[in-house]
A = this chain, B = another copy of it.
Amino acid sequence: MLISQKCQYGLRAIFELARRGGSEPVSVAEIARVQAIPPRFLEIILGQLKQAGYVVSRRGAQGGYLLARDPADIAVGEIIQAIQGAIGPVHCLVESAGPECPLFGDCVFLPMWERARTAISGVFDDTTFADLVERAKQKERDPAASSAAWGI
């Protein structure tokens, strides 16, 4: 499943919150500025993320958003799930119990789709925001190198 722009904004927002210690709230405007996200659109996204329990908000002056959990305890896959629903290469896999393929409950491709989904969610569920912050700080210190350990 293609990761939507909206979803990427959400990931960047969570990343931004994770990067700051979490001592004081960060406003939508501030996150939007730093991460180059349309501010009003970000409002919607953070609202969704709040309802899903990943951030908490503080209203009024000096308000903003705070991470509700330890960055090491938030996987990228969770945020994707919260914003754009379950991931998977095909529809009949993500909307389980739907009408699926009209006659192929025994679809030849199903095992392959299943393996693809496992592979992709493995990547997303194994990456936490603590990892990403760590990686960003590492890169700050040493702009070169630092990619070997990430397998790319």
CB-nearest residue of chain B to A143: B106
Are the C-beta atoms of A152 and B1 separated by less than 8 Å?
no
Chain B residues with CB under 8 Å of A102's CB are: 36
From B3, B90, B109, give the contact of A90 (CB < 8 A).
Answer: B3
Please give the distance in Å from A30's CB to the nearest CB on chain B: 16
Are the C-beta atoms of B139 and A112 separated by less than 8 Å?
no
Chain B residues with CB under 8 Å of A112's CB are: 76, 123-124, 127, 132
Are the C-beta atoms of B150 and A111 separated by less than 8 Å?
yes
Please give the distance in Å from A136's CB to the nearest CB on chain B: 5
- Say yes or no for A135: interface residue by CB 8 A criterion: yes
Interface flags, A1-23, vs B, CB<8A=1, else 0: 11101001001100100000000
A111 touching B8 in the complex, CB below 8 Å, given contacts A119-B119, A120-B89: no
Are the C-beta atoms of B3 and A2 separated by less than 8 Å?
no
Could you tell me the distance between the alpha carbons of A91 and B5 in the complex, rounded to whole angstroms? Answer: 9
Interface flags, A94-122, vs B, CB<8A=1, else 0: 00000001111010110111111001101
CB-nearest residue of chain B to A92: B8
Could you tell me the distance between the alpha carbons of A108 and B136 in the complex, rounded to whole angstroms? Answer: 6
Which 7 residue pairs are nearest across A and B when measured between Cβ atoms? A119-B119, A116-B123, A111-B152, A111-B150, A1-B2, A108-B132, A3-B89
